[in-house]
Structure 1
């Protein structure tokens, strides 16, 4: 019977890279000063050998858990699912493990707070909070006990480190896109801050920039995508509106479905924009015009920040706002390319659906 090949060790990596064992240790742990060329050789050697940090053995020696607790509001959604995957990959690079708790997307604030308490009781060394609902004052008590980072939302509380997409930039850029296409009356599905601290600022930025560009804005308050039928009916009661801005891609797709049921062509009768630009809804088959969040950078940046905090250092940016990018799909068109006829089922007929 053939012998099972042994796992490569830190000594093997040191021999392959031509450096000492202590240098390899500094590179894989992210602690201590190592030249960039040396770091590159060590990482290449580790990849060639298939070396993986033995977190359990390291924890026993150092009397640490090397575990980061992550609360994700709803791992079933594309945004949070991709964010969690990015954090797990980056944590493994630093030699840390991730312990996760997740809600169903319908957790109340009290439920999310209890989920963080559960993570803290598991002896995690740090916390990462990924939720657009839990207010800062509920997170601060944990930040006072453990290194804590908020990921994926524009959190600027002075006691909390955060990494997020610049929501103001994204909302304004999408508004500029529609204004540039000639739209002069636009509906914005506006989300209140009490429902989401991510979607609220982006929809505020949409409405504000549109008005700055001289566009008339109809704000329709909405939170859950299940309300899309009501949004569609409200938009069609205002036949002058030629575009609708949704707070996320999921909201936009549900709105597209409701418009289709009412015989409204997109973008022939109405242009529609989303927000996120990740996951299955970003497929060209749907062709959503959207704002793509840099999800991998948010996830890896959150892990890098928490590792720095664990090392007793402050991250270079206490609140790191990352730029996204405009995705120009086929759900928007210039006003000159759209139908000049009134959309189907407008006016009183819209209320029948």
Structure 2
């Protein structure tokens, strides 16, 4: 016989609480009525024994899976990783489990669609899509079949529910900071919507606000983080540029590395800003000037939204825009006179 302790069962809880097995079952499945005192006695006995509800048994009784499928484009990046963690914590609060599919950040559209199809085949009850690539029309196709929420990008499709940071306000707020520092010619590394549905609007907002403030903008076509070093000669070819606004913190840090290799002092010769403000890149060791997205709130509200869609058929698609905040670091400073 194994020396390992046996996990307590529903029968053990019933015996300790002095009730029948069916009463314990009703307490944990929410099926049927149980008196308040009896419920408290059952919960206390379960806590004392360390009883954990068998999710599979619960699903069989309720004929539900109590799972939410989450697709994140690249869980290795700070933004997606922290949003995923927040969603897992919130799902647990609601009594749901999270089944995750993630790409490497280099998935093609067909691969993202296949990942969502796989999650649906696993009989998840709802979907949360965290991707800056998958078009709204594709997401709407899934939303017509299963409760679906888009998290982390400014999605306003009429048939899709979404939760996101206000990219226009973020890009403009960060641009105001750069203009307030006294920069008159600024390079903005922009991405087209076809490359990123999150970074495209924020960098467009940066450029737009800078021009409104009378700042000359040099638009630089960007791409993947690994492609950033090749942009340094192009940026340096424009005389008078004293600041560079990157589309993400990862892009900004890679740019700082490339500038250091090229012997360009930052912020002495070029100020640099990022965008996201999450994870290890927030360290004071880097001191990145950035715009912080409320990732914990995005993840939590996305799960709340999909659970709300599951609980009622009368909730119409809605869009929730959350405010971020400026993080003043040391990578952006007034230009040298």
**TM-score normalised per structure 1:** 0.82
Q: Distance in 1 between matches of 2:56 and 2:4?
A: 27
1:204-230 deviation line (CA, Å, top 9, x unaligned): 000000011110000001111222222
Contact 2:149/2:306 (CA < 8 Å) preserved in 1? yes
Structure 1 stretch displaced more, 147-156 or 58-67: 58-67
1:294-329 deviation line (CA, Å, top 9, x unaligned): 111111111100000000156698101111111111
Structure 1 stretch displaced more, 199-208 or 217-226: 217-226
Q: Which runs of 5+ in 1 are unaligned?
A: 30-40, 341-353
Corresponding residue for residue 145 of structure 1? 145
Corresponding residue for residue 172 of structure 2? 172
Q: Distance in 1 between matches of 2:132 and 2:52?
A: 34
- Residue 73 of structure 1 deviates from its aligned partner by 0.7
**TM-score normalised per structure 2:** 0.86
Corresponding residue for residue 122 of structure 2? 122
- Residue 168 of structure 1 deviates from its aligned partner by 0.7
Please state if 1:322 is matched with 2:314.
no
Contact 1:288/1:330 (CA < 8 Å) preserved in 2? yes
Task: Check 1:209–1:104 CA distance in 2 against 1; reply closer, same or farther (3 A cut).
Answer: same
Corresponding residue for residue 163 of structure 2? 163
Contact 1:132/1:198 (CA < 8 Å) preserved in 2? yes
The residue correspondences of 1:201-240 to structure 2 (distance < 5 A) are 201-240=201-240
SS at match of 2:192: coil
Task: Check 1:174–1:63 CA distance in 2 against 1; reply closer, same or farther (3 A cut).
Answer: same
SS at match of 2:277: coil
1:171-218 deviation line (CA, Å, top 9, x unaligned): 011000011111111100011000000000000000000011110000
- Residue 61 of structure 1 deviates from its aligned partner by 1.1
- Residue 11 of structure 1 deviates from its aligned partner by 8.2
Q: How many residues align?
A: 319
The residue correspondences of 1:287-326 to structure 2 (distance < 5 A) are 287-312=287-312, 318-326=318-326
Contact 2:28/2:53 (CA < 8 Å) preserved in 1? no
Q: CA RMSD in A?
A: 2.9
Task: Check 1:253–1:23 CA distance in 2 against 1; reply closer, same or farther (3 A cut).
Answer: same
Task: Check 1:2–1:69 CA distance in 2 against 1; reply closer, same or farther (3 A cut).
Answer: closer
Q: Distance in 2 between matches of 1:22 and 1:51?
A: 12
Task: Check 1:2–1:125 CA distance in 2 against 1; reply closer, same or farther (3 A cut).
Answer: closer
Corresponding residue for residue 109 of structure 2? 109
Contact 1:246/1:273 (CA < 8 Å) preserved in 2? yes
Q: Distance in 2 between matches of 1:330 and 1:46?
A: 55
Task: Check 1:193–1:307 CA distance in 2 against 1; reply closer, same or farther (3 A cut).
Answer: same
SS at match of 1:219: strand
Q: Distance in 2 between matches of 1:283 and 1:104?
A: 24
Task: Check 1:258–1:133 CA distance in 2 against 1; reply closer, same or farther (3 A cut).
Answer: same
Task: Check 1:290–1:316 CA distance in 2 against 1; reply closer, same or farther (3 A cut).
Answer: farther
Contact 2:13/2:46 (CA < 8 Å) preserved in 1? no
